[in-house]
Amino acid sequence: MTLFDLTGKIAVVTGALGKLGPVWIEALMDSGASVYAMDHSSAPDLARFDDIKSRYGPDKLRLARADILSREELISAREELLEVFGPPDILVNNAGIDQPPEPGRSYTIDQIPEDMFLPTITVNVFGAFQVSQVFGGLMLKKGSGSIINIGSLYATVSPDPGLYDHIRCDPPFVKPPAYGASKAALLNLTRYLAAHWAKDGVRVNALSPGGVAGGQDEKFKQKFNRRTPMGRMAEEADLKGPLVFLASGASSYVTGVNLPVDGGFTAW
Ligand SMILES: NC(=O)c1ccc[n+]([C@@H]2O[C@H](COP(=O)([O-])OP(=O)(O)OC[C@H]3O[C@@H](n4cnc5c(N)ncnc54)[C@H](O)[C@@H]3O)[C@@H](O)[C@H]2O)c1
C-alpha cells in the first residue's frame, strides 16, 4: 500500500461542495492527505462536507471560497493555502458546469443560445487552466506535483440522443454540445500541460468518469445501463481508487493520459 500512500501530502480540490467533490476529498484523506478544498461563494454549505471535516479533524481539511474564473480570488486562496498547509502536491480540477435536462428549456441544435454554450466552455476549460496556473506554479517551483483534471465520457463520445428521448419536451431534449466540447478541450489541455511541465516534475492526467448513479430518472438509468458493457452506472467507490492512483507515486511514470472510469462505456 505504500505505493498509494499520501501521508503528509497536500491536495487542492475545486468544486468541493458538489456531488463528486466530497468523493475525491474522502479518497485523498483516507490515503493520508490533507485537503485544501475550494468552491464558489454561491455554493451552498454541504452537510457531507462538514461530516468529513468532523471525521478527519479541522486541521486536515480547510474550505476556501473562490471563483475559479477570478484570478484575484484564486491568488488569495493560494496565500491562505501557503499559510495553512504549504505548497500543494496534488491538484484536482473538479469544478465544472454540467448541463442536465432542464424542464422547459430545450432547443433544436441550430437554436441553442450563447448562454448555453460559453459559460460551460469558460468554466470547464479556462477555469481549470487558471487554477492550474495559480496552483501549478507552486508545484513547478517545488519540482513535483500531480494534477488531475476531471473529464467525462462525453469528452470522448457524443451523447447518444436515444438516452434522452423519453424526456417529454418540445422540441425534444438534446444534451447541449458545450459540455462534451469543453471536456474534450480539457483532455487536450491535459496533454499540453503534461508535455510542457514533465521536465519540471509535474504530472498532469485526466480522469473521466462515466455517469455516476444518483438522481437520474429510472428510464434513463435503464437505458444507460444497457448501453454500458458493465451494465451499471458508476458508484462513488468506483472513482476513488483511480484518483488515488493518479495522485500517488503508484503512477510516477504516467503523464498526459486520460483514464476512463466508465464501465467500458467508451470501449464500443
Ligand atoms: N456526476 C457525474 O455523473 C459526472 C460524470 C462525469 C464527469 N463529471 C464531472 O465531475 C465534476 C464534478 O461533477 P459533479 O457531479 O460533482 O457536479 P456538481 O455540479 O455537483 O459540482 C460542481 C461544483 O463546481 C462548482 N463550480 C462551478 N462553477 C464554479 C466556479 N466558477 N468557481 C468555483 N466553483 C465552481 C459548483 O459550485 C459545484 O459545487 C465536473 O467537472 C463534472 O463535469 C461528473
- 3-class state of residue 150 by DSSP: strand
Ligand 1 atom nearest the C-alpha of 16 is: 39
Instruction: For residues 234 and 92, give the distance between their C-alpha atoms in angstroms, rounded to a whole number.
Output: 19
Cell readout for 52 is: 468529513
Fold of 82-267: Rossmann fold (3.40.50)
Domain range summary for the chain, segments of one domain joined by +: 82-267
Burial of 21 (0-12, 13-18, 19+ CB in 10 A): buried
Selecting among 154, 179, 192, 253, the annotated active-site residue is 179
Asked whether 71 lines ligand 1 (CB < 6 A), one says no
Q: Is 179 a catalytic residue?
A: yes
Residue 223 has pLDDT above 90, yes or no: yes
pLDDT 10s digits, 131-142: 999 999 999 999
Instruction: For residues 122 and 125, give the distance between their C-alpha atoms in angstroms, rounded to a whole number.
Output: 6
Kindly provide the residue ranges of all beta strands, DSSP E only, lying in 185-226, ordered along the sequence.
202-209
What distance, in Å, lies between the first and last C-alpha atoms of the chain?
A: 33
Model confidence at 1, pLDDT cuts 50, 70, 90, reads low
Cell readout for 161 is: 440522443
Model confidence at 99, pLDDT cuts 50, 70, 90, reads confident
Asked whether 18 lines ligand 1 (CB < 6 A), one says yes
pLDDT 10s digits, 17-68: 999 999 999 999 999 999 999 999 999 999 999 999 999 999 999 999 999 9
